[in-house]
Structure 1
Amino acid sequence: MLALAACTAPALAADGEDDGPVTATLGGRLHLDFASFDNDPRGTPNKDDTEIRRAWVDVSGRFFAVDYKLEADFSGDRVEAKDVYVSRGFGNAGKLTVGQFKQYYSLDDRTSSNYGPLLERGNAATTLAPLYRLGASWQANPGDFTWAASIYSLESIDAWQVKGRAAGGRVTWAPAPQAGDVLHLGLSLAREAYDNPGANGVPALRIRPRPAGHLSDESRLTLVSFADGRDTDVDKWSLEYAQVRGPWSWQGEFSGATFDDGAQRGNVMAGYGLVSWFVTGETRAYDRKTGRFARIKDIHHTAGAFELALRYDQMRGAQHLDGQPDLRRGNTEAWTLGGNWYLRDNLRFMLNLIESRNRDRLAGATVDRTRAVTGRLQFDF
């Protein structure tokens, strides 16, 4: 926190000098969450709980020839760095970014948590997306297309124990999008090489989604696990589709990943479908320059806007030693019904009802069934 303050102090002094060589804008978000669970008798029950899910503060602006952003999350036991980078645009050719930034992977993950219609992203975005990594990227927005490519370390500022290197990118196409009329198609790819997961203090590489929300740790099912210390290669992909028609929008993604450490292989497949309806007539906003959904605009009523959303989300995984039958095979699925009340475009209350189920497909048995009511009070600036 002291380092962030020290870095941002000179810039803050220049706040408001839009034509000067140094500018700064202060921003942030606060997400206050709760969860109440109806657990079945199998396994350890999830506990009802509350949490400060996100308490982010950021400073962004221009420092002479480059743009910058410094962002940190103060919600946990220690301060965690998010976006910490410098960038520079080169006209129509694109923009270069260097530092720690969120990688370019999937519509679900690239859409800010401030603007998603449900509290949680889908299983693929929460387990496969590379999130914030140290690296360099080039982004461009030619016409109806966006594309971004990056090379990055598997380390981050706060997770230096994870070792390895990777490359990835995303391309989207949205022909002449306008308010209330959007068609979006996209493709994300990533190739990651992990060094010695599970050995010499390096965390294991596991895919373990939380089907009933962020606080449902006891409902996690391990779909693949690589923890024997062998270098592991991972290939990831995601196909994106979304449309907006007036107050209605719908989107879906089909994602997957393969894992190989030379002695065993694993694969996961995931997909979701989501539909959203603004009962009060507003429409989901779309940012054509970045190929993702954005902040709601033009709330129609003084009492605010109200949105309903429904999603079905499934993820399955399998793992086997080379030439042997599966030693692990399972799947997790969840239905989520959500309601959002936007008091203002930057202030909303969210409520989700979740029905989730985990199955061990080798045993042919359901190993967990959990229902949850989750909610959030959210403010951003």
Structure 2
Amino acid sequence: MKYRLLHAALLLALAVDARADSLWPPKASFDDGSSLSLMGAAAYDFNRVDGHGYPAGAPLQDNDDWRRSELGVRYSRPGVLDLAATYDFNSDSWLDVGARIETRAMFGRDLGRVRIGQMKTTVGLEGNTASRSIPFMEFSTVTQAFFENRRVGVDWTLERPQFLAVASYFFKSDIDADNDGDTVGARLVWTPRKQEGDVLHLGLSASRETPDSGIARWRAKPELSLTAARLVDSGVIEHVDNIQRQGMEALWQRGPLQLQGEYLRQRTRRQDGFRDYASDGWYAMGSWLLTGESRPYAGANTSNPKPVRDSGAVELLARYSDLDLDADGIAGGREKNFTVGVNWYLTAYLKFVVDYTRVDARRRGQQADPNLLQARAQLHF
């Protein structure tokens, strides 16, 4: 109870002060142009479920709790380097931790940016969207299943007006060392249009992971924020030699309208005479900011819109996702979800989210079709 009251008091205090843009984010600036600032995010969620999971398990229940409680610090010297570290006290885990170095400062010309530390991996547009900026309550089932999440390693990014290229090498799972192994990846994005409120983004990505454990597992939550239940699950796959991921992504933006979609697939290569396993999925989503703003686009991704009215910005959204884990003798199941939502961005740092999801999941002859209603209050800076 004390923990919840502390969260609530912090959220209320920050929400009141968040209207004073000059105070956020908390920052100290120095004579050489560098700065030291705090970063954070606090999100409290409400889940309401009509229906349940499969009869044999995976109960889906009403719940309300903190979804994330992030706090970090960043040192920035524009044009030279950034140092950052963020911790999520809700999940007791480190998020992004590391350094980003501008090659212009070293070589006198822009040869890209180099990052070293723990960061998100290469394959997945939605997965690489900051958690505070995703339009819906949760990532699609497709992203949950196939995105590799954060790893420790190094990546290089070269960005030009009409393209972005990324090459990465990860040599450790994460700081907590949950699943060691190597991953190499690449991503190429073409942006023939990249102006404020006028974006066309087309991309391809691929990676190859070699897990030291020799095991893999593909599964996803039903886009419900406060549950550990999975309605589709390949189960543990052993004798894994390597995992190959591929992705295709597209994003179109015109003023307050945005369309986005991805196709992701994986192939689990097995040894000792065991059959390979491949599965795939896709999602498509659209959003419309009724109040006329556009989602900011930078670094081949989008972020929360900044309201231009005192009453804030209002966004309507819809997403369809289709994840198929039934293949190659493994009955992982198939799930199709349709979500509609509305977001209210009261300020640049405070937003409220409401999502409604209809789930259609089938696995091993069983069916689950719950309806999910969720709401979130989130502060971020």
**TM-score class normalised by the smaller sequence:** 0.7 to 0.9
- TM-superposed CA distance for 1:248, in Å, is 1.2
Determine the structure 2 residue equivalent to 1:187: 204
Q: Note if 1:369 corresponds to 2:369.
A: yes
Query: Match of 2:50, SS?
Result: strand
Distance of 2:166 and 2:175 partners within structure 1: 22
Given that residues 154 and 194 in structure 1 are in contact (C-alpha distance below 8 angstroms), is that contact kept between their aligned partners in structure 2?
no
Give the residue type in structure 2 aligned to 1:215: L
The 3 A distance-change label for structure 1 pair 41 and 169 is closer
Other-structure match for 2:44: 32
Deviations 1:59-97 (CA, angstroms, capped at 9, x unpaired): 111489743111111113x3x111111221112101111
Amino acid at match of 1:58: G
Q: CA RMSD in A?
A: 2.1
Question: 1:349 corresponds to which residue?
Answer: 352
Q: How many angstroms apart in 1 are the aligned matches of 2:121 and 2:135?
A: 21
> Partners in 2 of 1:167 and 1:150 — Cα distance?
6
Partner of 1:55: 69
Measured in 2, the distance between the counterparts of 1:152 and 1:161 equals 14
Q: In the alignment, what sits opposite 2:243?
A: 234
Q: In structure 2, do the counterparts of structure 1 residues 142 and 260 end up closer, same or farther at CA, with 3 Å as the change threshold?
A: same
1:139-154 matches, within 5 Å, as 139-154=157-172
Does structure 1 retain, via aligned residues, the 8 Å contact 2:199–2:254?
yes
Partner residue, 1:8:
none
Give the number of aligned pairs.
345
2:139 touches 2:223 (CA, 8 Å); kept in 1?
Answer: no
Would the alpha carbon gap of residues 132 and 212 (structure 1) be closer, same or farther in structure 2, given more than 3 Å must change? closer
Deviation at 1:303, TM superposition (A): 1.4
Aligned 8 A contact 2:83 2:98 in 1: yes
- How far apart are the structure 1 equivalents of 2:313 and 2:35? 34
Cα gap change, 1:269 to 1:242, in 2 (>3 Å): same
Please state how far the C-alpha of 1:329 moved relative to its aligned partner. Answer: 5.0
SS at 2:143's partner residue? helix
Which residue in the other structure is 1:245 paired with? 254
Paired position in structure 2 for 1:131: 149
Match of 1:284 in 2: 295
Structure 2 segments unaligned to the other structure (5+ residues): 1-26, 105-109
**1:207-259 CA distances to partner (integer Å, 9 max, x unpaired)?**
11112413243342213531x3x243110011011111121111111110011
What aligned pairs does 1:159-238 form with structure 2 within 5 A after superposition?
160-197=177-214, 204-223=215-234, 225-226=236-237, 228=238, 230-238=239-247
Question: Aligned with 1:141: secondary structure?
Answer: strand
CA distance in structure 2 between the aligned counterparts of 1:117 and 1:135, rounded to whole angstroms: 28
Instruction: Please name the residue that 1:5 is paired with.
Output: none
Moved over 6 A (4+): none
Deviation (angstroms), 1:23: 3.9
Q: SS at 2:142's partner residue?
A: helix
CA shift at 1:319, angstroms?
A: 4.4
Does 1:95 find its partner at 2:113? yes
Q: Which residue is 2:326 aligned to? A: 318
Which of 278, 287, 312 does residue 267 from structure 1 map onto? 278
Change (3 A) 1:71 1:352: same
8 Å CA contact 2:258–2:288 kept in 1: the answer is yes
Distance 2:314 2:305 in 1: 11
1:144-186: CA deviation from partner (whole Å, max 9, x where unpaired): 211111110242102x141211101212121241222111111
- Contact 2:140–2:223 (Cα < 8 Å) also in 1: no
Letter in 2 for 1:59: V
Q: Displacement, 1:301?
A: 2.7
- The question of whether the paired residues in 1 share the 8 Å contact of 2:68 and 2:89 is answered with yes
**d(CA) in 1 for partners of 2:180, 2:241:** 11
Q: Is the 8 A contact 2:67 2:226 kept in 1?
A: no
5 Å-filtered alignment, 1:97-112, equals 97-112=115-130
Partner Cα distance (1:179, 1:375) in 2: 30
Evaluate the alpha carbon distance shift between residue 295 and residue 249 of structure 1 in structure 2; reply closer, same or farther with a 3 A threshold: same
Q: 1:18/1:155 Cα in 2 relative to 1: closer, same or farther (>3 Å)? A: farther
* Percent identity between the two aligned chains: 27
Q: Which amino acid aligns with 2:44?
A: L
TM-score (norm 1): 0.85
Q: Give the whole-Å Cα distance in 1 for the aligned partners of 2:144 and 2:286.
A: 19
Give the aligned partner of residue 5 of structure 2: none
**Pairwise CA distance, 1:40:** 4.2
Distance 1:66 1:40 in 2: 49
Tell me, in whole angstroms, the C-alpha distance in 2 between the residues paired with 1:329 and 1:378: 34
The 2-side partners of 1:260 and 1:113 are apart by 30
CA distance in 2, matches of 1:212, 1:129: 14
